[in-house]
């Protein structure tokens, strides 16, 4: 059984919104000019690309991938070893964008991540993203049981 978990947009919320706007503008423009194809490609790359994690419970392996255009998965599989551990970390990611008048807009997103750690305690892969620690606590028990790992 495979579980696919979307982590976040590659270019953040502002970049993703701007990419979707450029994609829509390219779709409208493609009927009158062929330059709309370039806008569709740029908008699709920026607006639809995201990062995700695929967990294969049957073969005990995990892949962190960047999904280009939302379809093309890049990344390699990592075999899960019994000495690895799973833990919970809290993150605060701040995305900053500037307007034409040089005003900054900061968007702060707090999240709780379930992370795969190596046997040395090094963070390897974020496995799943949650908004609350209670939801992460219940899911980490499920992941540890299915993969046969210990909690950090």
Residues 6 or more apart whose CB falls under 8 angstroms from that of 147 comprise 55, 57, 60, 80, 86
89 φ, ψ (degrees, to nearest 5): -130, 150
Percent of the chain past pLDDT 90, that is, above it, reads 67
The pLDDT confidence band at residue 151, using thresholds 50, 70 and 90, is: confident
Q: pLDDT (tens digit, 9 = 90+) per residue, 52-63?
A: 999 999 999 999
Kindly report the pTM of this predicted structure. Answer: 0.83
Total Cβ atoms within 10 A of residue 32: 8
Q: Pairing mode, if any, of strands 61-68 and 104-117?
A: unpaired
Residue carrying structure tokens 């590659």 = 10
């Amino acid at each position: 059984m495979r579980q696919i978990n979307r982590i976040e947009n590659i270019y953040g919320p502002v970049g993703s919104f701007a990419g979707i706007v450029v994609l829509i503008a390219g779709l409208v423009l493609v009927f009158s000019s062929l330059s709309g194809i370039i806008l569709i490609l740029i908008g699709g790359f920026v607006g639809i690309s995201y990062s995700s994690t695929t967990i294969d419970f049957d073969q005990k392996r995990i892949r962190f991938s960047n999904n280009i255009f939302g379809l093309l998965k890049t990344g390699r599989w990592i075999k899960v070893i019994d000495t690895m551990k799973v833990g919970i970390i809290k993150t605060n990611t701040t995305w900053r964008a500037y307007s034409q008048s040089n005003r900054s807009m900061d968007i702060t997103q707090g999240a709780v991540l379930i992370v795969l750690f190596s046997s040395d305690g090094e963070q390897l892969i974020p496995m799943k993203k949650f908004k609350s620690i209670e939801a992460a606590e219940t899911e980490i028990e499920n992941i540890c049981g299915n993969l046969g790992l210990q909690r950090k």
